[in-house]
Structure 1
Amino acid sequence: MTERSFFNFDWESGDSDRLDPTPWGRRFHDLTPPVEDSVLDGTFDEDQLPTHSEIIELIETLHAGESSPFLPRPKSDRPHSVHLPEHYEARYAYPLVVWFHGDGSSEEELASVMPNISERNYIGLALRGDVRSGDGYRWSTTDEAVRELIDDVESLVLSLRRERHIHSERIYLAGFGSGASAAMELLLHKPEWFGGAACFYGSLPLVPFSQRQAHELRDKRVLLAATTNARSGNARGLIAAGRLLNASGVRIGTRFYQDYGTAPTVKMLSDINHWLMDDVCSSVT
């Protein structure tokens, strides 16, 4: 996948002129042999290399400026959960799955969702819905709620990127029920931020796209899932939403399931993994 991402740290030539070389110059100077040495030593102390968080801080400094998306943001106070893959490797850039739980649940379900998607392939981030629902929460998609969600996702993803190695062009949204609706709203409002969204049993917004949105949505991947249970009636809405998205150049995948419960099944979560890996593998080849 080659589309640009808000969370990408690409930078323009000349930006390094704004960088304070201290202490970076000192750290890299330690790795440089004296000029008088005629033979270079092929070994070095790995502990002297900058850490991932220090590298991210350095690149953010390169983006310094009033229009920079990497200026300090207010820290989000929305409850959230993070899941790391088994045998996390700091040198590997992991795809990130931002999970939106279903009605009556919370961000804590990430601990059961991610292992059923994959134990090894992704880092997971889950946020709590903004409306009380039974013993848990659900998601509101009012304009104000969506604006707050955009701010919270921005803050939490940037904060997580400073701590963990995340591939900026492989950040995906996924959700169930009202969480699927929230995921789609976020993709439609900020398509340049994400690689796509997997939406299971959500009520999808059927609204016209602006020219900017349509351009940014082109070639994004969206997985839409509905149930064959006639009582739910969401299959017709899924088809209508799929047609509208497809007309904007979105690459649509669909799944139909007989089950219609209150939480995603193991089969659904496994399908998310296959859908994600199709994109990851295609971008590599």
Structure 2
Amino acid sequence: MNRLWSENASASGSFSWANNPQSHSSATLESCGRSSFFLPVQYESNYQYPLVIWLHNEGSDQTQMSSVVPSISMQNYIGVGVRAPRATDSMGHGFSWLQSEAGIAITEQTLFDAIELASSRYSINRDRVCLVGYREGGTMALRTALRHPTAFAGAISLGGRFPTGSRPLANLEAARNLPMMIALGTDESGYPTNDLCRDLRHLHAARIGLDLRQYDVANELHPQILSDVNEWIMGQVTGVDTLHTATMCDTEPVEFSAN
């Protein structure tokens, strides 16, 4: 397990464009039904952009993407935030992902519909679509990518546990070629260490590669983690690993192959 970042104060995970409106003045946000879109600074319609699909945590919605994807990069990606299928409150302000077979099918259809919609509206490279999710959304991002490993260039979970139930490794042979990353903070409430170690043993037995990164912050939406997400995705897009790990501290060996 690699500990990449430390600070004395916990990260709040609250990021807003209002904190620095000048830096975002040339970017564009658009909404369409259950999806929200982010266009990078100086969007160029003749260039095929990688697409980052953002899956929010439980209790949030697709608009969370508008504060997260710009913090990953203002110019590298087109972003789309998708809304989970089930409302968590009577006002419809928050939504949650369903891990049942029916819920998984609904989510998959929603994600592929979002890709089609993004492709019809913007210049997208369909071979460079990456799923990124926060906590429960991270689990769903990994699950969906594992079920359709040839449809995605990679999947990242920020604080979300590896999916269990409903046979997440049913497409095992193809899944072995899927780049995946999990980034974890110090709050173990969402992914206890015992569960993490169990999942790592299963992945090792299945010969599944996973890039696991642990940070000394409580919230996985910390700016350093989002910066590393950008480096990781660009590494998958370009084939060049620019996320250097030579200065990591508190490094521990793990029992699986890292991408």
Aligned to 1:214: 172
Deviation digits for residues 5-38 of structure 1 (CA, Å, limit 9, x no counterpart)? xxxxxxxxxxxxxxxxxxxxxxxxxxxxxxxxxx
Once the two structures are TM-superposed, the CA of residue 174 in structure 1 deviates from its matched residue by 0.5
Q: Tell whether 2:46 aligns with 1:91.
A: yes
Which one-letter code corresponds to 2:221 in the other structure?
P
> Greater helix percent: which structure?
1
- Correspondent of 2:145 among 187, 190, 199: 187
Distance 2:107 2:98 in 1: 10
The answer to which structure, 1 or 2, has the higher relative contact order (CA under 8 A, 6+ apart) is: 2
Q: Tell whether 2:132 aligns with 1:132.
A: no
Q: Tell whether 2:104 aligns with 1:119.
A: no
The correspondence of residues 121-270 of structure 1 with structure 2, limited to 5 A, is: 121-133=76-88, 135-206=93-164, 209-210=169-170, 213-230=171-188, 233-261=191-219, 264-270=221-227
Three-state SS of the structure 1 residue aligned to 2:46 is coil
Distance 1:110 1:94 in 2: 17
Distance 1:232 1:183 in 2: 16
State the number of aligned residues: 205
- Correspondent of 2:36 among 63, 66, 81: 81
Distance 1:188 1:102 in 2: 19
Q: What is the TM-score of this pair, normalised by structure 2?
A: 0.71
Q: Could you say if the C-alpha distance between residues 236 and 90 of structure 1 is closer, same or farther in structure 2, counting changes exceeding 3 Å?
A: farther
Once the two structures are TM-superposed, the CA of residue 242 in structure 1 deviates from its matched residue by 3.9
Aligned to 2:23: none
Distance 1:235 1:78 in 2: 38
Work out whether residues 50 and 128 of structure 2, in 8 Å CA contact, stay in contact via their aligned partners in 1.
yes
Deviation digits for residues 213-270 of structure 1 (CA, Å, limit 9, x no counterpart)? 1121122110012233455553343343344345545431111123334x72222211
Distance 2:135 2:150 in 1: 24
Return 5+ residue gaps in structure 1 as ranges. Answer: 1-76
Work out whether residues 217 and 249 of structure 1, in 8 Å CA contact, stay in contact via their aligned partners in 2.
no
Work out whether residues 129 and 139 of structure 1, in 8 Å CA contact, stay in contact via their aligned partners in 2.
yes
Deviation digits for residues 150-187 of structure 1 (CA, Å, limit 9, x no counterpart)? 11111221121122111111111010111111111211
- Correspondent of 1:100 among 51, 55, 59: 55
Deviation digits for residues 64-105 of structure 1 (CA, Å, limit 9, x no counterpart)? xxxxxxxxxxxxx96110111111111111111110011221
Distance 2:218 2:85 in 1: 23
Three-state SS of the structure 1 residue aligned to 2:239 is helix
Work out whether residues 222 and 250 of structure 1, in 8 Å CA contact, stay in contact via their aligned partners in 2.
no
Which one-letter code corresponds to 1:220 in the other structure?
L
> Greater strand percent: which structure?
2
Three-state SS of the structure 2 residue aligned to 1:251 is coil
Q: What is the TM-score of this pair, normalised by structure 1?
A: 0.65
Distance 2:194 2:127 in 1: 32
Work out whether residues 82 and 114 of structure 2, in 8 Å CA contact, stay in contact via their aligned partners in 1.
no
Which one-letter code corresponds to 1:273 in the other structure?
N
Return 5+ residue gaps in structure 2 as ranges. Answer: 1-31, 242-259
Which one-letter code corresponds to 2:124 in the other structure?
I
Aligned to 1:12: none
